[in-house]
Amino acid sequence: MLVPAIYTIQLFVKGAILKDPNDTDVQTMTRTGSPAELLNGPILFTILMTIVGLKLYRNQLGVVIMACLGYGDGIAPLVGYYFPCGTHYPTFPFGPNDKKTLTGSLGFFFASVFGYHVLGGLILDSERDFAVGAAELQMIATVAAVVAVVEGLCGPYDNPCIAISATLVYFYLLASNTNEPTEV
């Protein structure tokens, strides 16, 4: 977790102190080219990555969150940009230019499910193969669907919204599965 922690400091320095619009991180990680934008999504991602790594290492919830953040949120803007298909919807703060695409949200969903499959196979259990059971697939599909909607509505604050909503849905599903009646 040292790498994302150091990268958090680096993004803070570049976004709050140096403020160089020609910096490669500013050019590749921002939409507008403003160094201050590093203090939104990119730094929140590295902070969340550090927290998940410290608190949820080798834990299913950590894999769910990182699948949604790393895979889902990483693929969504690419799919939305290259395959917009004309379907846009408003996102926070709901200004005239604050829009996301339905295809980006679908890309988020499928990439999150795929990311969970890959990360779960690599992280959760060394004996586990890459096969995901039906209950596990239903869980990640439900989480990914809800979080795709939340990500689409949260605008520039999508990274913390993704982590919080994935956690809430995960615990809701976990609680609802343990409340099933058992046979005596």
For residue 107, give the nearest of 147, 140, 75 by alpha carbon.
75
18 shares its domain with 108? no
Assess whether 43 and 132 both reside in one domain.
no
Kindly state the tokens that stand for 165.
């909503």
Task: Give the C-alpha separation, 123 to 15, whole Å.
Answer: 32
Same domain, 70 and 100: yes
DSSP-based three-state secondary structure for 87 = coil
What are 178's two structure tokens? Answer: 């343990």
Indicate if 120 and 182 belong to the same structural domain.
Answer: yes
User: Does residue 74 share a domain with residue 36?
Assistant: no
The per-residue pLDDT for range 18-67, each reduced to its tens digit, is 999 999 999 999 888 999 999 998 999 999 999 999 999 999 999 999 99
SS3 21: coil
Residues 6+ apart with CB under 8 A from 171: none
User: pLDDT category, 184, cuts 50, 70, 90?
Assistant: very low
**Mean pLDDT taken over the chain:** 91
Task: Verify that 16 and 83 share a domain, yes or no.
Answer: no
User: Do 36 and 61 sit in the same domain of this protein?
Assistant: no
Say whether 51 sits in a helix, a strand or coil.
helix
Cβ 89 vs Cβ 165: under 8 Å: no
Q: 24 and 107, same structural domain?
A: no
Please check whether residues 94 and 107 belong to one and the same domain: yes
Percent pLDDT > 70 in the chain is 93
Do residue 80 and residue 162 come from a single domain?
Answer: yes
Query: Does residue 72 sit in the same domain as residue 113?
Result: yes
DSSP secondary structure string, 19-49? --TTSHHHHHH-SS--GGGGGTHHHHHHHHH
Residues 24 and 69 in one domain: no
Question: Which residues span the domain enclosing 176?
Answer: 57-184
Number of folded domains that form the chain: 2
For residue range 104-128, list pLDDT tens digits in order: 999 999 999 999 999 998 888 755 5
Residue carrying the six token digits 């917009």: 84
